[in-house]
Structure 1
Amino acid sequence: MSKFEPRWQTALDSLCERVLQIRDAAGQAWPYHCDPTTGEWDTTDDGDWCGGHWVECLRIVGELTGDRRLLDESAERTERLRRYLERDDMFRGHRFYYSAARQFAWTGESKYRTLALAAAWAVRSMAIPSNGGMPIGTQVQVRSTQLSGRDKVCVDNVHPNLILDWWAYKQTGDEAFAQGARRHLDLTARDFVLADGSTIEFIDYDVATGQKLRHYTLLGAHDESCWSRGQSWAVAGYLRAWEALGDERYLAIGNHLLDYWIGQTGESGVPPWDFKDPALGQDRASVPLDTSAAAVVVEQLARMAVLPSLHPAARTATDRLAPMLDGLLEHLTPINKASDKHPRGVLLNGCFNQPKKYANRSELIWGTAYLLFALYYLKTGRVIE
């Protein structure tokens, strides 16, 4: 994608401004989500599952604005995350890819490479030996949820669990990362991806035999539903696997998952929080959307769009980027310049946990992050890693 549209530049400027506002509001804590009616941020002491995303937000805005303070803070926060290296948590992938791996790419300092590689090996060691599935872990960190275990695998895991595999494989050439990732990708394709391109959220396995025990949902509408953020991780995860390995099987799965998405939302639509929520057939307007799910997909499509040479088979996916990005920007303030009272750069309509009505119509830090990442890639024409 050769042209960075003026409307995208406006959005990028707004997001950079918003990151500075969030930084002022959060102070030394870690931002999580913001109530759009009160403007108050809910924060955490440890970054929860998305601390790495905030590190990379600060780094990107520091790079784009030339503000050394933000670059220094992103490095300092990376060090603050170091203590969670041994937490048995699938989200170590995200936590240390978006912090340590990106810090190494930016600074060249070997300590960040060492930290990211340590995290990559720690996450890779989580695999269920009998089937290669990557579990959520015994100490998985997600506020408002209490599920954990080495026998539990979710559809998300093709993204947070594998993102350091791709980085570490590129850094070291060690086939253990690629082979381990393939085992999990193939398991997920077999057990989680349905014929129509939708996905289920959770499966418990017998770790001794590798056999499925039951499937269910934690964040979706019902056990047979299709939670849209889970679908987004699956889309992004398989397209990222294609990007790393060039295996057209994974590109085909990613496109199949994306076809289902587009079939439900249209080319520019933001998804409902769950594609199979029964309420969609009764009062669709009352069903929460999830802009953060759309942002996850847009970020991966933007990664692919700036590849130095894009295989023609991947253009089916990247051709969808511009309308999806523009549809997402319809939820970025100001929505109406005359009447919108929100600050600039607020990504509205993120849904974290609809079953518990927790931050279900909010500004979510990871939604902001993935939209910022996508625009940064398109602006600079590169992904640093």
Structure 2
Amino acid sequence: MQSVQHLIFKNIPLLIIFLLLFSNHPLSAQQTKLEMSNLIDRQFKLAEKQYQFLAKNTPIGRMPKTYYAKNNKFETSDTKWWCSGFYPGSLLFIYEYTKNQDVLKEAEKRLASLEKEKHYKGNHDLGFMMYCSFGNAYRLTKSSEYKKTIDTAAASLATRYRPIAKVIQSWDANKTWKGPVIIDNLMNLELLMWVAQNGGDQNYSNIAINHANKTLINHFRPDFSSYHVVDYDMSNGNIIKKGTAQGASDSSAWSRGQGWALYGYTLMYRFTKDKRYLKTAQNIAKFVLQHPNLPKDKIPYWDFNAAGIPDTYRDASAAAVIASALLELGQYVPSKEKIYYASQAKEMLISLSSSTYTAQEGTNGGFLLKHSMGALPLKSEVDVPLTYADYYYLEALLRYKKWYL
């Protein structure tokens, strides 16, 4: 008589086949969806509580910026700071999920403080400032006043377009850069494209497309990693130099910058259906997801080429941006790729939702996520919570719920 042990080992191939089949069983898929649904619900309930705490810490007329746990220092900004739109935007995401009217009222108060910045022309960040805030407000309320603010902000952003170089200048000239255009600038094209397609000046679309096309040509290396800054001579469109302000080196792949690039070309495909933008987004995703320095938990180091890996900082904000972008990219590709992008984003969201990256209630200054990186070379906002990490994380959770559950 054969032993039980012998029978088990003899039938290991059958056991493996059974387990593989069971893992693809509809009940298994339903269980996975239930787990993600519960995770999303848990995180939004925590966000609701954290942002009540954050509201108490933030005076009217100011916006939360970051929190330093070592000395219990909470830092705010004025409304001209490039991140000023993320706090009201996050409140609107929380309201969208919870339907908590108090959260909506808090968002409305912050929007009222921010509204005057629709005339700001000091840099390229009007998209971050005004579309992440008023864009979401209009999407949820359809208030005509919010749309007027968005339209005015687009007009302000368009003044930074340089027609000879065919780019939007990010920052004014300074000692380091003459005509800097940073990869982050792609994110602000959403403001221009949306206004152009919703009754606004059609030239805004031309500006955005010209900028995206020029960035596609000049910002990317053969492996589809991106430079952070391309410096132009705006009088003739020639490139002066390529470098970085926030990455590890001029030739490195700054992680959040790769996220901005991925998100930017995905949104440009959404508006234009130009296959070049889709292909570029897919190539950037390949660079990020197949990079040998991407950790197992999918939360990138602050730069893919940072010195000291693995003993260096992670960047939760980069993961949040990348996860949200991947979830949208999955909407535009065949089923096999869609499953791949969604699964990679899901791993990022699960990691970000763990105690390693998610704050306990009543801690972290009221912010939701820990361990983001502002600009390590500038020794600014190192390993701290940041408003845009929370914003893109909450957006990604909502996108997962809407598109994948």
TM-score for the superposition, normalised by structure 2: 0.81
Q: Which of these residues, 156, 178, 181, is aligned with residue 205 of structure 2?
A: 178
Q: Residues 84-121 of structure 1, C-alpha deviation per residue, up to 9 Å, x if partnerless?
A: 22322211111111222222222222111111011112
1:351 CA drift (Å) = 0.7
User: Which segments of 5 or more consecutive residues in structure 1 lack a partner in the other structure?
Assistant: 140-145
Equivalents in 2 of 1:336, 1:176: separation in Å? Answer: 42
Calculate the aligned-residue CA RMSD, in Å: 3.0
Q: Structure 2 counterpart of 1:286, which letter?
A: D
CA contact (8 A) 1:301 1:318 kept: no
1:8 to 1:62, Cα distance in 2 relative to 1, 3 A: closer
Distance across 2 between alignment mates of 1:192 and 1:328: 28
CA distance in 2, matches of 1:200, 1:123: 23
Measured after TM superposition, the shift of residue 363 of structure 1 is 1.1
Could you give the per-residue CA deviations for residues 231-287 of structure 1, whole angstroms, max 9, x where no partner exists? 11001000111111111110110111111111221675111111122x1xxx32321
1:346 matches 2:373: no
Greater shift in the superposed pair: 318-327 or 347-356: 318-327
Q: Identify the residue that residue 25 of structure 1 maps to in structure 2.
A: 57
Report the number of matched residues: 366
Secondary structure of 2:231's counterpart equals: strand
Classify 1:336/1:370 alpha carbon distance in 2 versus 1 (closer, same or farther; 3 Å).
Answer: closer
Please state if 1:109 is matched with 2:143: yes
Taking the aligned partners of 1:296 and 1:276, their CA distance within structure 2 comes to 19
Q: CA deviation at 1:204?
A: 1.5
Structure 2 gap segments, 5+ residues each: 1-28
1:131 to 155, 165, 183: 165
CA distance in 1: counterparts of 2:361 and 2:106, whole angstroms: 31
Aligned partners of 2:45 and 2:213: how far apart in 1? 40
> Please, which of 335, 340, 363 is the counterpart of residue 319 of structure 1?
340
**Aligned residue among 54, 66, 70 for 2:87:** 54
Per the alignment, residue 271 of structure 1 pairs with: 300
Q: Deviations over 1:172-213 (max 9, x none)?
A: 275323222111111111110110111111121111111101
Please state whether the residue corresponding to 1:287 is helix, strand or coil: coil
Structure having greater relative contact order (Cα 8 Å, sep ≥ 6): 1
Hey, what does 1:242 align to over in structure 2? 269
Aligned to 2:193: 166
Matched ranges for 1:180-199 at <5 A: 180-199=207-226
Compared CA separation, residues 318 and 115, structure 1 to 2 (3 A): farther
Q: Is the helix fraction higher in 1 or 2?
A: 2
Corresponding residue for 1:361? 383
Conserved? CA contact 1:30–1:47, under 8 Å? no
Instruction: Pick one of 163, 170, 185 that aligns with 1:157.
Output: 185
Name the CA shift for 1:224/1:258 in 2 (closer, same or farther; >3 Å).
Answer: same
Asked if residue 35 in structure 1 is aligned to residue 68 in structure 2, the reply is yes
* 1:326-346, Cα deviation, whole Å (9 max, x unpaired): 334424453499x99956973
Who is 1:14 aligned against? 46
Larger Rg: 2
Query: 1:362/1:315 Cα in 2 relative to 1: closer, same or farther (>3 Å)?
Result: farther
Give the direction of change, closer, same or farther, for the CA distance of 1:107–1:79 in structure 2 (3 Å limit). same
Match in the other structure for 1:95: 129
TM-score relative to the length of structure 1:
0.85
CA distance in 2, matches of 1:373, 1:286: 29
SS of 1:296's equivalent? Answer: helix
| CA drift at 1:291 | 0.9
Distance 1:334 1:179, change over 3 A: same
- 1:295 correspondence with 2:320: yes
Alignment partner of 1:83 is 2:111: no
Structure 1 position 366, deviation (Å): 0.8
- C-alpha separation in 2, matches of 1:103 and 1:67: 15
- Residue equivalent to 2:14: none
Cα pair 1:243 1:304 within 8 Å, conserved: no
Moved more, 78-87 or 238-247: 78-87
Query: Are the aligned partners of 1:332 and 1:346 in contact in 2 as well (CA < 8 Å)?
Result: no
| Contact kept? 1:11, 1:345, Cα under 8 Å | no
* Letter paired with 1:158: L
8 Å CA contact 2:349–2:397 kept in 1: the answer is no
For the structure 1 residues 341 and 177, does the alpha-carbon distance in structure 2 shift closer, same or farther, using more than 3 Å as the test?
closer
Q: Does 2:355 match 1:334?
A: yes
Q: Distance in 1 between matches of 2:361 and 2:309?
A: 24
Percent of aligned positions with the same letter in both sequences?
A: 22
Say if 1:114 and 1:138 are closer, same or farther in 2 by CA, change over 3 A. Answer: same
Q: Using the alignment, how far apart are the partners of 1:234 and 1:284 within structure 2?
A: 23
Report what 2:7 is aligned to. Answer: none
Q: Which residue in 2 is equivalent to 1:143?
A: none
